Structure 1
Amino acid sequence: MNKNYIILVLFFILLPFYSVLAQNTIWYVSPNGTGNGSTWALASNSVQTAISNAQPGDEVWVKQGSYQNAVGVAFSLKEGVAVYGGFPSTTNPTLADRNPKAYETILRGNQSRVIEAYGTWEPMTAATILDGFTIREGYSAGGAGIHMTNCNATFRNLKVTLNTSNVGLGAGILMSYSDATLIQVLVVNNTSILTTGFDGDTGGIRINGGTPKFYNSVIANNHAEGATGGISVTNTNCYFYNCIVYGNTADYVSPDVYMNANFNSGTNGVAYSSNCILQDCGGSEYFFEVPQFMLYGIDMGGNYDINPMFNADYSMQNAIGINKGNTQAYLALSNGTDKDYFNNNRVVDAIDIGLTEYQTVQSEILYVKENGTGTGSSWADASGDLQLMMNNQFKGKSVWVAEGTYYANDPYFRLRDSIKVYGGFPATGNPTFTDRNVELHPTKMTSSYYAVIGNFYPADKKLSSQTLVDGITITKHPNSQTYMYGLFENNSDAVYQNCNFTDLTFGVAEIRNSSQNTFLDCNFTNNTAINDDVVTVNVLTGGEATFLKCNFINNYAFQSAAIQVISNSNVWVDECLFANNANQEHTGNGKVFNVVDSRATITNSIFESNGTSAVGGNIMWLLGVVVPNNPTDTYPLKVTIDRCIFRDNLNSAVLYQGRPGDEVSISNSLFYKNAGSVGAGFRK
């Protein structure tokens, strides 16, 4: 036969096959397919065959159903090939029809692991994608669900479940020297078996090397017959954003403080967590000035230690995750998705924590009413949980609070950055802002703990001056602690306006560590310090405060019944009234106002009828102190008093005891009918 004729015949025979390779970028797979995968009508029934035939840049579309390789053979991903499950069993579904949650597509193990994703000399890149599958019933030494090595691939919308490791190298997922990205991956109910000679550790995910990143993933209810049911990390820097790690169990729980049943950080293993729910992490909140975060590596902020209250599908009942994820981190993904795990819009307001996204747009105003049981979207649907509404509101938005008394969740209320809280609304009807009246509709914040409001934040998460509390009474109640504080401000510039601070027994406010708080039109009345070391408002260790048009009336403390400024701090006082303070016998110097090694500017203010005739002393004490052998703790005293009135005080008005270099300036001020054995007006 003619040689050229043979070549021509072979050309026409092979032409359709090469045309598929050259032209088709999508390969189609259906459980009942019998074709070469070139169209839905000619769909293949083998996921692996389609992957193997595909070239970098191609996609494999897989219809709902169950797929399994031969005994002992895993599914193997291929560099640059994107594999998508979740297509319905209709005739010709498109991407718009795809819904992995509704059209479950299962890859099953067959006496082997389910998925292998192995790079060669070069790592598998992010263009390699596995999206929209349930990966189950794998069995191997490690990575029974997914095993990746030198793999930077993208894994999205996966459920990794019911896989078993017979050694302890990560029953769900084993990652070795991989920078993979995992988005909306549910790793649940995987088990690591304790076999003689092996540790049986890590039911969920084991990471050794690389820098993997997890977004909106859930690792829950995995079990290890050894240690660590959840995640183990060694020789890695891994990142978790908007994830949940909860409910994992282990038969062996080490007394080591660096691990629990959910998480273990081994040699050179560092995890960075942002806006996650992590069981037993302590959360990102501070307890007073002590950070509580532990076990899970580096706290990037926004983390919670709460029960997510999973539904059967691992969506959450607990509303704490709504709008509390790190939106910026998610949107920065180049390989992310605009749908959540349940095929709903991924970001509605701000991103949620976990797999699911709450689809209702949040109200511009959140509403709180005593004994409310709603979501806070309106007065009719008002919440009764003031703290939850502050937590849930967006920066720059407000929370409206009706008349009533609101109790802090243990231990105290925490203000949230740039959230504005307004009290004084009527408790009935649908009041508007013009119906607000602070005196007619008193709104109280209180606590059973030692403080009503505790703003303890690290320096890089300082509350801004856009944080506002307006029209609130801050006070104790019958079940409060004997020693009851009003405010603690640590790295906070919060503003208080039209507020009443009353009946507190251990001081009204402590302002410190770079805080710069402002008080406008506030009343400080009838507060009593039951300990000699306690003052009404204490500004210290670099704190700053401004008081404009405030009233300090009928407060008692052994010293500083109104304000104390110490240790390199600073206050501005303008148009304030100080009256009838420190009128008990047991008082010392600086009965009302005390400035030590700090700065104060006091203008247009009145000090009248303060002090007691029963003992000596003074109303205002300006003191510069030399700290022996420690000059770094010695700070200048600089005080300006201008256009002030000191009248009818029962003790000397001002005592100044300074050092060379200290500065006290008193100008345009009136001292009238003040009592004192020496220097009733001003004494130096």
Structure 2
Amino acid sequence: MEKHVYKRTIYLLTILIWLAIPFDTLATFRYVKPTATGTGTGLSWADASADLQGMINLSVNGDEVWVMAGTYFPTCDGSGNASPADPRTRTFLIRSGVKVYGSFAGTETSTADRVNIWTTILSGNLGTLSNANDNAYRVVSFANQSDANLLDNFSIRNGYDNQSSSPSGGGIYFNDETSTYSPATSPVINQCELAFNQNGGLYVGSYNLPTITGCSFSFNTEGAVRNQPFSQPTFSDCTFYSNTTSTEGGAVSNIGCMPLFKTCKFLGNSTQSSRTDIYITGGAMFNKGSDVVLRSCLFDGNTALYAGGPSVVLLWEA
């Protein structure tokens, strides 16, 4: 009898210890290099895979994908089709809860071991280098994102989202959600560069609450950021430099949203429209029906050709 009690006690203790293990310690780590090495399974640097989207697809909530320095191009559309009718629909689709880290040398055992930034490039330049019309519409896409999602230390370039006439997100695209989307989540974009994207750099769809920290937005056309109605993004320690638009908000356009900007810099952004109506304004930022909070931000060298002033325009509707 005592032996059975002893075994049952050990069994229960084992279960309790297992439940007490932090979730992160159970995460799977996958490794990606520009060229596969070893077995190519992606379970170590020695056996790294060359298929970034494949490693993301194999990952589940809490898993991490580590990506070595190099240039990577999207290979599938949002449905996982490697041969879509329109090749430009290819995008890096980030699965819910997955953390993706870039700019590794390929030997690190901790993300803190990285010494460089933006050495891993996610590029939408799918075809002829000098022809943007064959670039991916959206280099990175999020759908069904969660608080656990993280995109860290990538340079995201050369997306051209001209599927419609409205500026969108050639670099990163957060899906529009609905008012019934629950619970609201806050995925993180950390220390990334969004540069040389056309028709918008970052699109924050309705009801999204992303946190963007330490990022650089530069040389994007039709604005660096488009914040849609009911979105609540937070931008901290970000720099917006030399972004342009032919409509409103050289760097940022806020439409019916509630963004927060903390210790951000807006430098040399411009709107270049020759129109003179009030809707085409704001060299750095355009705000329409939005509750915008700016804390310790710097605006310098932003320009607008005509109406509304060089830096920030506030337009409220009754």
CA contact (8 A) 1:87 1:93 kept: no
Aligned equivalent of 2:33 = 30
Contact 1:218 1:243 in 2 (8 A): yes
> Is the 8 Å Cα contact of residues 259 and 265 (structure 1) preserved in structure 2?
no
Match of 2:282 in 1: 260
> What do the CA deviations read for 1:200-236 (whole angstroms, capped 9, x no partner)?
xxx2111112111100001120111333321111110
1:55 matched to 2:71? The reply is no
Q: 1:256 to 1:23 in 2, by over 3 A?
A: closer
The amino acid of 1:57's aligned partner reads: G
Letter matched to residue 139 of structure 1 = Y
Of 241, 244, 250, 1:223 maps to 244
- 2:227 matched to which residue of 1? 207
* Structure 2 unmatched ranges of 5 or more: 1-24, 76-86, 127-134, 163-167, 178-184, 303-310
Q: Does 1:179 align with 2:198?
A: no
2:121 to 75, 85, 106: 106
* Bigger strand fraction: 1
Shift of the 53–228 alpha-carbon distance from structure 1 to 2, 3 Å rule, reads: same
Verify the 8 A CA contact 2:248 2:280 in the aligned structure 1: no
Letter in 2 for 1:143: G
Match of 2:272 among 251, 265, 276: 251
CA distance in 1, matches of 2:219, 2:94: 24
Give the distance between the partners of 2:108 and 2:258, measured in 1 at CA: 43
Kept in 2, the 8 Å contact 1:272–1:296? The answer is no
**Is it true that 1:274 corresponds to 2:295 in the alignment?**
yes
Secondary structure of 2:97's match? Answer: coil
The one-character-per-residue Cα deviations of 1:335-368 (angstroms, maximum 9, x if unpaired) are: xxxxxxxxxxxxxxxxxxxxxxxxxxxxxxxxxx
* Structure of greater Rg: 1
Aligned residues: 243
Matched residue type, 1:140: D
Amino acid aligned to 1:54:
S
Quick check: 1:237–1:271 contact (8 Å CA) kept in 2? yes
Deviations 1:152-186 (A, max 9, x none): 31000000001112xxxxx1111112110000111
Residue identity opposite 2:234 in structure 1: K
Cα-to-partner distance string for 1:434-473 (whole Å, 9 max, x where unaligned): xxxxxxxxxxxxxxxxxxxxxxxxxxxxxxxxxxxxxxxx
Shift of 1:107: 0.4
Correspondence list, 1:448-463, <5 A: none
**1:64 aligned partner:** 69
* Cα distance change, pair 275–24 in 1 and its aligned pair in 2 (3 A): closer
Partners in 2 of 1:136 and 1:87 — Cα distance? 18
In structure 1, C-alpha distance between the alignment counterparts of 2:294 and 2:115, rounded to whole Å: 29
**What does residue 49 of structure 2 align with?**
44
C-alpha distance in 1 between matches for 2:71 and 2:35: 10
RMSD (Å), alpha carbons: 2.5
> 1:262, 1:279 within 8 Å by CA — same for their partners in 2?
no
* Distance in 1 (alpha carbons) for counterparts of 2:298 and 2:147: 27
Q: Of Structure 1 and Structure 2, which has the larger fraction of its residues in helix?
A: 2
**CA separation in 1, counterparts of 2:48 and 2:174?**
28
Shift of 1:255: 5.6
User: CA shift at 1:278, angstroms?
Assistant: 2.3
Q: Are residues 54 and 230 of structure 1, via their aligned partners in 2, closer, same or farther at CA, if it must alter by over 3 Å?
A: same
One-letter code aligned to 1:94: S
Identity among equivalent positions (%) equals: 27
Residue from 141, 153, 157 that aligns with 2:191: 157
Q: Deviations over 1:522-566 (max 9, x none)?
A: xxxxxxxxxxxxxxxxxxxxxxxxxxxxxxxxxxxxxxxxxxxxx
**Distance in 2, Cα, partners of 1:176 & 1:92:** 35
Contact 1:273 1:296 in 2 (8 A): no
How many Å separate the matches in 1 of 2:91 and 2:280?
A: 35
Aligned to 2:94: 77
Whichever residue aligns with residue 227 of structure 2, its letter is: I
Find the counterpart in structure 2 of residue 144 from structure 1. Answer: 170
After TM superposition, the score normalised by the length of structure 1 is 0.34
Pair 57,190 (structure 1): closer, same or farther in 2 beyond 3 Å: same
Aligned twin of 1:118? 143
Shift of 1:92: 4.8
Distance 1:127 1:143 in 2: 22
Q: Which amino acid aligns with 2:58?
A: N
Matching residue of 1:588? none
Tell me the distance in 2 between the aligned counterparts of 1:31 and 1:259. 43
For the residues of structure 2 that align with 1:159 and 1:263, how far apart are their CA atoms? Answer: 19
Task: Give the corresponding residue for 2:255.
Answer: 234
